[in-house]
């Protein structure tokens, strides 16, 4: 059976791209029985006598799955942050980064509105750039003509599939409009969230742009850490992960354990205090999370 990738899903149809051709397909009834919904990004088996009447037969195991937008097998998450208006937030940035690390998605940080900064604030942003690049993250600034920054961003994304995320007002929709001008996404994200305007139905689509595949819908403005366990959280901070074996105890949570290498590095400034503070906040949130109870299906 041929294999392909779902590039678009709308009104119960799944558009599967395979060997340069797009097939319109429907899911088999057993997907509903299994309570399983195929997603854009899925690698699927399908059969089709022609381009318009295909049937999905099976979905390959996913490497990740997002809720907003509903999409799977994403390689890169572009975190759109504004330098000002709203003010640059390392807390929010770290929250997105931890979420992406937990989903095994590479993060790229795209910073907008740097042209609005005064000299003092500009120096602060440059210091943060140093901090995050030292952790291995790529940062792209939009402080030169937009088409040049978009080209720089697409070069970083390469041949990967990418989604865009960031809080409201940072310019996610404007950035996507530059990358995909044919979309004409409403830049007032509130009105889009309410479903007003001409596009009453939003569907998700992966659109080829140069070598990349770009999700055409701006993603979430904030993320929950519901899928992250406290034992896994330390490894979602790269600077913790690379030094964890120097702690006295395996499974160290870097709280009050003796001979904790991470706490020593915070004290010496080798690990930034604000990163450690955010770690403690996330850990407390996870530890105080109410357990989920799932009803048994009869």
CATH code for the domain in which residue 46 is found: 2.40.50.140
Quote the domain boundaries for residue 255: 233-287
199 annotated as belonging to a binding site for a ligand = no
The whole-angstrom separation of Cα 281 and Cα 32 is 39
112 annotated as belonging to a binding site for a ligand = yes
pLDDT of residue 61: 95
pLDDT of residue 295: 45
210 annotated as belonging to a binding site for a ligand = no
pLDDT of residue 189: 42
For the chain (298 residues), the mean pLDDT of every run of 10, in chain order, is 94 94 88 80 93 92 92 96 94 96 96 92 96 97 79 95 92 87 60 36 84 88 89 97 94 94 97 98 92 51
12 annotated as belonging to a binding site for a ligand = no
The answer on 209 and 115 residing in a single domain is yes
Token pair listed for 187:
């830049």
**Residue 280's CATH number:** 1.10.40.50
228 occurs within a structural domain: no
169 annotated as belonging to a binding site for a ligand = yes
168 annotated as belonging to a binding site for a ligand = yes
- Asked if 213 contacts 205 with a C-beta cutoff of 8 angstroms, the reply is no
114 annotated as belonging to a binding site for a ligand = yes
131 annotated as belonging to a binding site for a ligand = no
The answer on 174 and 99 residing in a single domain is yes
149 annotated as belonging to a binding site for a ligand = no
49 occurs within a structural domain: yes
167 annotated as belonging to a binding site for a ligand = yes
217 annotated as belonging to a binding site for a ligand = no
Q: Long-range contacts made by residues 265-273, C-beta under 8 angstroms, separation at least 24?
A: 265/239, 271/239, 271/240, 272/131
φ, ψ of residue 225 to 5 degrees: the values are -105, 30
261 occurs within a structural domain: yes
Classify burial at 1, counting beta carbons within 10 Å of its beta carbon; exposed 0-12, middle 13-18, buried 19 or more: exposed
**pTM of the full structure:** 0.88
End-to-end CA distance of the chain: give it in Å, rounded: 34
229 annotated as belonging to a binding site for a ligand = no
4 annotated as belonging to a binding site for a ligand = no
269 annotated as belonging to a binding site for a ligand = no
292 annotated as belonging to a binding site for a ligand = no
Q: Does residue 41 come out as left (phi exceeding 0), alpha (psi in the -120 to 50 range) or beta?
A: left
The answer on 129 and 103 residing in a single domain is yes
């Amino acid at each position: 059976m041929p294999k392909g990738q779902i590039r678009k899903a709308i009104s119960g149809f799944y558009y599967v791209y395979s060997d340069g051709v797009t097939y319109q397909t429907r899911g088999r009834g057993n997907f509903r029985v299994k309570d399983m919904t195929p997603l854009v990004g899925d690698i699927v088996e399908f059969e089709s006598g022609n381009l318009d009447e295909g049937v999905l037969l099976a979905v390959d195991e996913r490497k990740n799955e997002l809720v907003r937008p509903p999409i799977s097998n994403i390689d890169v998450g572009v975190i759109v942050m504004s330098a000002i208006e709203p003010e640059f937030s390392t807390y929010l940035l770290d929250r997105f980064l931890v979420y992406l690390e937990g989903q095994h998605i590479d993060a790229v940080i795209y910073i907008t509105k740097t042209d609005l900064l005064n000299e003092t604030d500009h120096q602060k942003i440059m210091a943060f750039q140093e901090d995050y690049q030292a952790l291995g993250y790529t940062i792209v600034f939009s402080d030169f003509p937009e088409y040049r920054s978009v080209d720089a961003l697409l070069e970083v994304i390469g041949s990967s599939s990418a989604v865009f995320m960031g809080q409201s007002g940072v310019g996610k929709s404007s950035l996507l409009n530059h990358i995909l001008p044919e979309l004409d996404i409403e830049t007032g994200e509130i009105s889009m969230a309410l479903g007003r305007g001409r596009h009453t139905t939003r569907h998700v689509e992966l659109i080829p742009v140069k070598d990349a595949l770009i999700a055409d819908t701006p993603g979430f403005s904030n993320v929950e850490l519901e899928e992250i366990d406290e034992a896994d959280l330390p490894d979602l901070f790269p600077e913790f992960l690379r030094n964890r074996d120097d702690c006295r105890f395996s499974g160290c949570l870097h709280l009050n354990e003796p001979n904790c290498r991470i706490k020593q590095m915070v004290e010496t400034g080798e690990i930034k205090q604000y990163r450690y503070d955010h770690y403690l906040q996330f850990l407390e949130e996870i530890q105080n999370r109410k357990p989920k109870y799932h009803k048994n299906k009869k």
